[in-house]
A and B are shown apart, each in its own frame.
Chain A
């Protein structure tokens, strides 16, 4: 082992001297690896970012909330079976809450009704279209990651009384009130004035998935008063213990069946969804993006590896006589193998390091220029790229190094 370390350190010195003396060639060869590592690393950060973006969007749904809906959160082939289901009514929430409080040791905490539609929101000369307008109760904050940076969410009193108050998302606030505080201002929705009482914290958008940034929330009573048209309603129920989600789901199914007055022989005519179900339909998409992306960028690294292999072969050929001399002086096969392996590995590691530095700078730049673009540069990624470049070096150096170590000393010495 000690002997091995000795040989490794001596080979490092030789490799370093070799790279210095063939500077142009080494740089050009390393360039292949540099580009490869940049591509792979950037792809890695993008995949990472996509993943984080998904998770962030998912977090909005909450991992301890069940959603009672007409349609299941997954693609269905037999849509006609779902189309004619009875709508979910917001009144269910009240009934469910009574049932929950009547059940000892219930796994459910509270049911919250929500209704929504898309409307424009106006203030002064500013207008935002396609705002997700949500009607709900004050219990809503229990089930969602709503977090008012400015102001507050509406209270129970406002909720029951159907006060004309709204909590607005970050982007809406930004668009309507570019230079003033939105609090206590009156915004116009569907011809009605609503007082802004809170602004939700910025959440960031990603691929247009659920973000509260472009939403407006108001008491359900007010919502029902002014938006009687086609609205989507569902009921969300907070679970007490998220490790027992399945039990909670069973309990809720029973309760909703009772609410809907379903006789035992009839199948459920509603769906109960949770974050996980949604995730499992999105995960394959996420994974195929990752695999396709990494495969394509991996190809560029592979081209870099071939460059290294090629140059190591050339180097072995050029230095045949040197190899012969070294063998005559007592270098063993393994010593020669190690020397060339370390040369190719050192070149790849150097390339990897430079590539990583560039990739980091590029990520930094992109992150500054497009703050909403999810980019994530992690320590894990750095380690992985270094390991990948080292493996690239070993992989591409092995064949030529093996050739060199097997050279017959007599033939090698005679080579001109």
Chain B
């Protein structure tokens, strides 16, 4: 297997996680979803986070996406301590610094592509004219310039995911967090979406890909394997043999 890029990117650190844990209380039982994860992600990295279900992959993604705060440990996002932020401060970080791409697209079904892409700009308080111009621009960038007034049910799966990617990009975030972005797409459309992500990476974006599919993870330049709430391996490029025992 070809290792496409062995050079670690040397940009400034965007995400700095040290020894974070997350415990959930499920009835009487305490589930230790993360048991001490340390991870640094620099600007313009393309990193895949892999692991079977129950490995803590989703929990880590929620932490990285500032949707949740850790039970213990240090988390700095662009030098700001995120671990102790309250709900509204986290919302502001999510709005400006993180672009989410979901497996199920999560578009508002009754709103046009344009309105969907405008949403983060609304929450950022941008005035309507600038908002619309910016949203239309980003939609054109992902190749949907002629679909801005279509509603999600008038778009194909791949087009919907493009709208979602445009929505993630619109506020100029520090990272793009893609959770199984091809999970609901056929393989050909999936490849197109991965191509789009590759282009975004090439043009300087930082991409964090959460997936359990090896050929999707293979697009990344760095792969982190999680197992039982701990990082099992952290490699430049894609290391398939390490993935074998845990896959499936």
Please give the residue numbers on chain A whose beta carbons come within 8 Å of chain B beta carbons, in ascending order.
3, 6, 10, 17-18, 21, 321-322, 324-335, 408-410, 413
B110–A325 touching, CB < 8 Å: no
Q: A328-B67, A330-B91, A330-B95 are in contact. Are A322 and B62 (CB under 8 A)?
A: no
Bound Cα distance A276, B102 (Å): 75
* Chain B positions 58 through 74: 1 when the CB is less than 8 Å from some CB of chain A, otherwise 0: 00001001011000000
Q: Is B96 an interface residue (CB 8 A)?
A: yes
Task: Please give, as numbers and ranges, the residues of chain A lying within 8 Å of B167 by CB-CB distance.
Answer: 329
Task: Kindly identify which residue among B65, B100, B110, B122 contacts A17, using a CB–CB cutoff of 8 Å.
Answer: B110
Q: Which of B165-188 contact A (CB under 8 A)?
A: 167, 171
B106–A10 touching, CB < 8 Å: no
Task: Kindly identify which residue among B62, B65, B119, B171 contacts A326, using a CB–CB cutoff of 8 Å.
Answer: B119
**Can you give 10 contacting A-B residue pairs, CB < 8 Å?**
A6-B127, A17-B111, A326-B119, A327-B94, A328-B100, A329-B95, A329-B100, A329-B167, A333-B91, A413-B67
Bound Cα distance A324, B108 (Å): 11
Task: Please give, as numbers and ranges, the residues of chain A lying within 8 Å of B122 by CB-CB distance.
Answer: 10
Please give the residue numbers on chain B whose beta carbons come within 8 Å of chain A beta carbons, in ascending order.
62, 65, 67-68, 87-88, 91-92, 94-96, 100, 102, 106, 108, 110-111, 119-120, 122-125, 127, 167, 171
Bound Cα distance A6, B110 (Å): 21
Closest to A409 in B: B67
Bound Cα distance A220, B94 (Å): 93
A332–B91 touching, CB < 8 Å: yes
Kindly name the residue among A10, A17, A334 whose own CB sees the greatest number of chain B CB atoms within 10 A: A10
B120–A329 touching, CB < 8 Å: yes
Known contacts A330-B171, A332-B87, A333-B87; 10 further A-B pairs (Cβ under 8 A)? A17-B111, A324-B106, A326-B119, A327-B94, A328-B106, A329-B119, A330-B96, A332-B123, A413-B67, A413-B102
B87–A329 touching, CB < 8 Å: no
Task: Kindly identify which residue among A3, A10, A330, A410 contacts B68, using a CB–CB cutoff of 8 Å.
Answer: A410
A321–B106 touching, CB < 8 Å: yes
A328–B92 touching, CB < 8 Å: no
Nearest 9 CB-CB pairs, A to B? A330-B95, A330-B123, A325-B106, A332-B91, A409-B67, A332-B88, A329-B120, A21-B110, A328-B100
Task: Please give, as numbers and ranges, the residues of chain B lying within 8 Å of A3 by CB-CB distance.
Answer: 125
Bound Cα distance A280, B80 (Å): 71
Bound Cα distance A17, B119 (Å): 14
Q: A322-B108, A330-B124, A331-B91 are in contact. Are A410 and B96 (CB under 8 A)?
A: no
Q: A321-B106, A413-B67 are in contact. Are A329 and B111 (CB under 8 A)?
A: no
Task: Please give, as numbers and ranges, the residues of chain B lying within 8 Å of A334 by CB-CB distance.
Answer: 88
Kindly name the residue among B88, B91, B94, B127 whose own CB sees the greatest number of chain A CB atoms within 10 A: B91
Closest to B68 in A: A410
Task: Please give, as numbers and ranges, the residues of chain B lying within 8 Å of A330 by CB-CB distance.
Answer: 91-92, 94-96, 120, 123-124, 171
Closest Cβ–Cβ distance, residue B110 to chain A (whole Å): 5
Closest to A319 in B: B108
B123–A335 touching, CB < 8 Å: yes
Closest Cβ–Cβ distance, residue B152 to chain A (whole Å): 12
Closest Cβ–Cβ distance, residue B17 to chain A (whole Å): 17
B111–A410 touching, CB < 8 Å: no
B91–A327 touching, CB < 8 Å: yes
Bound Cα distance A328, B100 (Å): 7
Closest to A405 in B: B87
Closest Cβ–Cβ distance, residue B177 to chain A (whole Å): 9
Closest Cβ–Cβ distance, residue A326 to chain B (whole Å): 7
Task: Please give, as numbers and ranges, the residues of chain B lying within 8 Å of A409 by CB-CB distance.
Answer: 67-68
Bound Cα distance A261, B87 (Å): 89
Task: Please give, as numbers and ranges, the residues of chain A lying within 8 Å of B67 by CB-CB distance.
Answer: 327-328, 409-410, 413
Task: Please give, as numbers and ranges, the residues of chain B lying within 8 Å of A331 by CB-CB distance.
Answer: 91, 123
Closest Cβ–Cβ distance, residue A333 to chain B (whole Å): 6
Task: Please give, as numbers and ranges, the residues of chain B lying within 8 Å of A335 by CB-CB distance.
Answer: 123
Bound Cα distance A162, B53 (Å): 112
Bound Cα distance A408, B91 (Å): 12
Kindly name the residue among B65, B96, B119, B127 whose own CB sees the greatest number of chain A CB atoms within 10 A: B119
Closest to B93 in A: A330
Closest Cβ–Cβ distance, residue B97 to chain A (whole Å): 9
Task: Kindly identify which residue among B62, B94, B127 contacts A329, using a CB–CB cutoff of 8 Å.
Answer: B94
Bound Cα distance A17, B122 (Å): 16
Task: Please give, as numbers and ranges, the residues of chain B lying within 8 Å of A408 by CB-CB distance.
Answer: 68
Task: Please give, as numbers and ranges, the residues of chain B lying within 8 Å of A326 by CB-CB distance.
Answer: 119, 123
Closest to A3 in B: B125
Bound Cα distance A332, B94 (Å): 10
Closest to B131 in A: A10
Task: Please give, as numbers and ranges, the residues of chain B lying within 8 Å of A17 by CB-CB distance.
Answer: 110-111
Bound Cα distance A408, B24 (Å): 14
Bound Cα distance A332, B96 (Å): 13
Closest Cβ–Cβ distance, residue A164 to chain B (whole Å): 84
Task: Please give, as numbers and ranges, the residues of chain A lying within 8 Å of B120 by CB-CB distance.
Answer: 329-330
Task: Please give, as numbers and ranges, the residues of chain B lying within 8 Å of A324 by CB-CB distance.
Answer: 106
Closest Cβ–Cβ distance, residue A364 to chain B (whole Å): 39
Bound Cα distance A408, B68 (Å): 8
Task: Please give, as numbers and ranges, the residues of chain B lying within 8 Å of A322 by CB-CB distance.
Answer: 106, 108
B123–A328 touching, CB < 8 Å: no
Bound Cα distance A334, B111 (Å): 22
Task: Please give, as numbers and ranges, the residues of chain B lying within 8 Å of A21 by CB-CB distance.
Answer: 110
Bound Cα distance A391, B84 (Å): 37
Bound Cα distance A324, B67 (Å): 10
Task: Kindly identify which residue among A10, A18, A328 contacts B94, using a CB–CB cutoff of 8 Å.
Answer: A328
Closest Cβ–Cβ distance, residue B233 to chain A (whole Å): 26
Q: A17-B111, A326-B119, A329-B167 are in contact. Are A6 and B125 (CB under 8 A)?
A: yes
Closest Cβ–Cβ distance, residue A18 to chain B (whole Å): 8
Bound Cα distance A330, B67 (Å): 10
Task: Please give, as numbers and ranges, the residues of chain A lying within 8 Å of B110 by CB-CB distance.
Answer: 17-18, 21
Bound Cα distance A210, B13 (Å): 91
